[in-house]
């Protein structure tokens, strides 16, 4: 990572604040806490793991747009089997007329776009020629963004209906949505809670769960995204039915998924 923390915070804000989008939403979708995001990035080998927390800071600058990158509301009983599902939930360009002028805006799907955004960032990283300073900076920006979203991907409640937002099938699930809203912060802090109870034991368990993943194409990446998302949603559904937060084993499984995928992407694009 090149440059100071202030420089990269400025970079995130500068890149994001010029996106025009007049739509607003009331979703309050958080994520694993900053300590968990930094832990995932560190275990994956990133040089400045704390920068993986930046997308949560940037999100607050234009919440109604950037929040969609952090989650997708899967229908509770659905298991995603086709990578085509990912392509349906993205940010689209649309045109509106304001004061007689045609204006292009970017509109994220209301069910959340995290799966698509991870693929989008990976494709940008793959195409980037890092020969210039500008492109090296762009790579770091993409890297720490994707690090954050891959972390969010393994969070059970980031793959589950949230409050009054529509799920991927267009339906609303008020009971599941309320459970998500009421318990979101407890889920976000679960790994940090378990880790500090016994750091040495958690480190050993995480190390034993990290897998070597080969990502050679977009389809490889989509396959891993679906695996993690389906696993996360199943945990969320069990927790909803049993009215609880994830167990230590469930949390470690999900966090290790994120570490494994991020490590693979970092090694294949750096």
What is the Cα gyration radius of the chain? 18
The mean-pLDDT minimum among 23-37, 88-102, 249-263 falls in 23-37
Q: What is the DSSP string of 152-198?
A: HHT-GGGGS--TT---TTS---HHHHHHHHHHHHHHHTHHHHHHHH-
- Per residue in 150-201, pLDDT tens? 999 999 999 999 888 899 999 999 999 999 999 999 999 999 999 999 999 9
Which domains occur in the chain, in start order? 5-269 (1.10.575)
Q: Which of 207, 203, 204, 227 is nearest to 215 (CA)?
A: 227
Q: Which of 186, 165, 205 is nearest to 246 (CA)?
A: 186
pLDDT of residue 30: 54
Mean of all residue pLDDT scores within the chain: 89
- Per residue in 73-124, pLDDT tens? 999 999 999 999 999 999 998 888 888 888 888 889 999 999 999 999 999 9
Percent of the chain scoring above 70 in pLDDT: 89
Q: Which of 221, 187, 142, 184 is nearest to 36 (CA)?
A: 187
Element spanning 236, H or E: helix 218-242
CB 260 within 8 A of CB 223: no
């Amino acid at each position: 990572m090149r440059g100071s923390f202030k420089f990269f915070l400025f970079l995130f804000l500068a890149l994001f604040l010029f996106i025009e989008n007049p739509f607003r939403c009331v979703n309050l979708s958080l994520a694993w806490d900053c300590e968990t995001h930094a832990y995932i990035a560190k275990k994956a080998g990133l040089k400045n793991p704390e920068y993986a927390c930046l997308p949560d800071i940037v999100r607050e600058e234009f919440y109604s747009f950037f929040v969609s990158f952090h989650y997708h509301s899967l229908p509770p009983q659905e298991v995603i089997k086709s990578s085509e599902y990912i392509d349906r939930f993205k940010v689209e360009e649309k045109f509106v007329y304001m004061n007689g002028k045609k204006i292009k805006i970017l509109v994220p799907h209301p069910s959340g776009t995290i799966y698509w955004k991870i693929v989008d960032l990976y494709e940008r990283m793959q195409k980037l020629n890092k020969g210039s300073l500008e492109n090296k900076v762009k790579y770091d920006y993409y890297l720490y963004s994707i690090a954050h979203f891959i972390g969010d991907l393994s969070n059970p409640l980031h793959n589950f209906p949230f409050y009054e937002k529509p799920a991927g099938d267009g339906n609303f699930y008020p009971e599941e949505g309320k459970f998500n809203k009421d318990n979101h912060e407890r889920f976000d802090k679960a790994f940090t809670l378990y880790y500090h109870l016994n750091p040495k034991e958690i480190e050993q368990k995480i190390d034993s769960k990290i897998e070597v993943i080969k990502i050679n194409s977009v389809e490889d990446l989509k396959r891993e995204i679906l695996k993690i998302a389906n696993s996360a949603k199943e945990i969320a559904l069990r927790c909803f039915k049993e009215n609880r937060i994830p167990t230590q084993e469930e949390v470690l499984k999900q966090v290790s998924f994120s570490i494994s995928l991020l490590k693979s992407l970092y090694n294949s694009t750096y």
